[in-house]
């Protein structure tokens, strides 16, 4: 990435909880982010972010309405604002449109979640990896997955590979939300994306192939109780998560890679009922002469994820348990972060789920803007030098620890 023309201009697409956090963090680093534009389909959300920023920091940002599905509209906006980087915090359905606009305008790109088609509950990196040669030819850089998971969990693995191990053989990513928001049922990020993710068939990597197991709400799902730092023992469910797809390609020597997430029985019971009555469907149905998508209607009924922070208590604990070789000896290390919902709300007006995604998004953009990360083409975040990213996590609100641990068993 050529930084000779860098003027510290960032365009953030999206105005939800993650974009709110990222905008706060950009404002807190004025020496890097000199001009900030927040663009969203919903201008009122942009206005709320702008008002909050002005009240907290006395600094103004630019806002604008844009349809991220409209490539020509996006292209015109990028040409007008002339950012050095576009930070995509919109919906995963819109990734390719935003990448197309960056290609058209020759602007660097970074996101937090991989593309998935609107009409299919399926996500993979192939669609975005297909941009590799076009981004190279244009001389621009795309960094995929700079959230927490994916994102920090990838960087934790890359850091371990570079600094703690000679070879990594077993990887378990564990994501625990030990918080309480006071609602009977709510999702911590966009309900459409969340529900599509957790109702699909589970996959993990073992001995060079993907192994499928039942979804978390189905009979026969894989789960066990893990004793998390600070949070204590929580039931943790095997889940397929997108960072596994790139990590198994980029971390050499992996024999097994798994992802685990905590869910309460209350959440799972609600989800089972919603699925059974058809409310998690993503196809159109006829209702009184109108076409509606059940999961979109459900989204309209559920609490806005960005609003959950007002009553959220407790903490998130997310990290990696890694087993491998060092100097011929088999060792296991646990790298993790603890984030407090109430502290996140005090700083940014959001809950910790949004905070743990928005902070790494800003850090990734900062490392690109300052030339720490340079290149042309499409990169997953673990392919880049992890050291400065790890330093920045400690500096900007997501401190981490490395401790000795016992390896997780093959069968739980």
In order along its 412 residues, the chain shows pLDDT tens digits of 444 467 899 999 999 999 999 999 999 999 999 999 999 999 999 999 999 999 999 999 999 999 999 999 999 999 999 999 999 999 998 999 999 999 999 999 999 999 987 666 677 899 999 999 999 999 999 999 999 999 999 999 999 999 999 999 999 999 999 977 776 676 766 677 777 777 788 999 999 999 999 988 888 999 999 999 999 999 999 999 999 999 999 999 999 999 999 988 777 778 888 888 888 887 898 988 889 888 888 888 877 766 666 778 899 999 999 999 999 999 999 999 999 999 999 999 999 999 999 999 999 999 999 999 999 999 999 999 999 999 999 999 999 999 999 999 888 7
Q: In which element (H, E) is residue 257 found?
A: strand 256-262
What is the CATH classification number for the domain harbouring 185? 3.30.360.10
Rg (CA), the chain: 20
- Both 227 and 113 in a single domain? no
Closest CA to 368 of 146, 198, 159, 74: 146
Cα–Cα distances (Å) from 352 to 239, 310, 342, in that order, read 21, 11, 8
HSE, side-chain direction, 13 A CA sphere, residue 166: 7
- Both 243 and 333 in a single domain? yes
- Both 221 and 90 in a single domain? no
- Residue 245's pLDDT is 97
- Both 139 and 69 in a single domain? yes
- Both 46 and 130 in a single domain? yes
Q: Domain of 369?
A: 9-147+355-393
- Both 142 and 242 in a single domain? no
In 259-306, alpha helices (H): 265-276, 294-301
- Residue 274's pLDDT is 84
101 is a domain residue: yes
Q: Do residues 23 and 38 touch, judged by C-beta distance below 8 A? A: yes
Strand pairing category for 141-144 and 108-111: parallel
- Both 336 and 241 in a single domain? yes
3 is a domain residue: no
- Residue 189's pLDDT is 60
Indicate the SS3 state at residue 325: strand
- Both 282 and 197 in a single domain? yes
Say how far residue 262 (Cα) sits from the centre of its chain. Answer: 17
85 is a domain residue: yes
Q: Do residues 13 and 49 touch, judged by C-beta distance below 8 A? A: no
pTM: 0.92
- Residue 282's pLDDT is 77
141 is a domain residue: yes
**Helical pair 352-369 and 17-28, crossing angle rounded to 10 deg:** 50
4 is a domain residue: no
Residue corresponding to tokens 């399926």: 122
- Both 197 and 334 in a single domain? yes
- Both 119 and 253 in a single domain? no
- Both 365 and 217 in a single domain? no
DSSP 29: -
What is the CATH classification number for the domain harbouring 77? 3.40.50.720
2 is a domain residue: no
Overall domain count for the chain = 2
Q: Do residues 243 and 156 touch, judged by C-beta distance below 8 A? A: no
- Both 362 and 279 in a single domain? no
Indicate the SS3 state at residue 103: helix
For 108, the token pair is: 């660097």
412 is a domain residue: no
211 is a domain residue: yes
HSE, side-chain direction, 13 A CA sphere, residue 382: 26
Cα–Cα distances (Å) from 160 to 169, 171, 333, 348, 401, in that order, read 12, 11, 9, 30, 12
């Amino acid at each position: 990435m050529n930084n000779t023309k860098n003027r510290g201009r960032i365009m953030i697409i999206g105005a939800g909880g993650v974009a709110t956090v990222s905008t706060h963090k950009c404002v807190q680093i004025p020496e890097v982010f000199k001009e900030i534009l927040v663009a969203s389909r919903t201008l009122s959300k942009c206005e709320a972010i702008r008002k909050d920023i002005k009240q907290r920091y006395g600094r103004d940002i630019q806002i604008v309405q844009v349809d991220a599905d409209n490539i020509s509209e996006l292209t015109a906006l990028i040409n007008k604002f002339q950012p050095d980087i576009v930070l995509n915090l919109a919906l995963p359905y819109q990734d390719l449109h935003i990448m197309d606009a960056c290609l058209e305008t020759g602007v660097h790109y970074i996101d937090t979640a991989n593309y998935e088609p609107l009409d299919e509950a399926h996500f993979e990196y192939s669609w975005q990896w297909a941009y590799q040669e076009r981004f190279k030819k244009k001389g621009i850089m795309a960094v995929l997955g700079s959230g927490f998971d994916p994102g920090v969990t990838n960087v934790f693995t890359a850091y371990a590979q570079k600094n703690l191990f000679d070879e990594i053989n077993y990887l378990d990513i564990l994501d625990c939300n030990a918080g309480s928001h006071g609602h009977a049922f709510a999702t911590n990020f966009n309900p459409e994306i969340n529900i599509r993710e957790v109702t699909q068939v589970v996959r993990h990597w073992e001995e060079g192939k993907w192994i499928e197991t039942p979804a978390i709400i189905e009979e026969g799902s894989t789960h066990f109780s893990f004793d998390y730092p600070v949070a204590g023992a929580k039931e943790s469910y095997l889940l397929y998560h997108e960072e596994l797809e790139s990590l198994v390609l980029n971390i050499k020597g992996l024999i097994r890679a798994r992802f685990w997430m905590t869910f309460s029985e209350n959440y799972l019971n609600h989800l089972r009922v919603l699925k059974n009555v058809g409310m998690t469907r993503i196809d159109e149905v006829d209702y009184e002469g109108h076409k509606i998508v059940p999961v979109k209607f459900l989204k309209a009924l559920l609490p806005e994820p960005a609003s959950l922070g007002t009553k959220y208590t407790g903490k998130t604990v997310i990290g990696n348990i890694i087993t491998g070789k060092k100097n011929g000896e088999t060792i296991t290390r646990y790298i993790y972060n603890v984030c407090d919902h109430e502290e996140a709300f005090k700083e940014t007006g959001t809950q910790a789920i949004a905070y743990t995604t928005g902070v790494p998004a800003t850090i990734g953009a900062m490392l690109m803007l300052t030339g720490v990360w340079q290149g042309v083409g499409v990169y997953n975040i673990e392919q880049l030098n992890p050291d400065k990213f790890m330093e920045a996590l400690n500096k900007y609100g997501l401190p981490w620890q490395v401790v000795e641990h016992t390896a997780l068993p093959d069968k739980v």
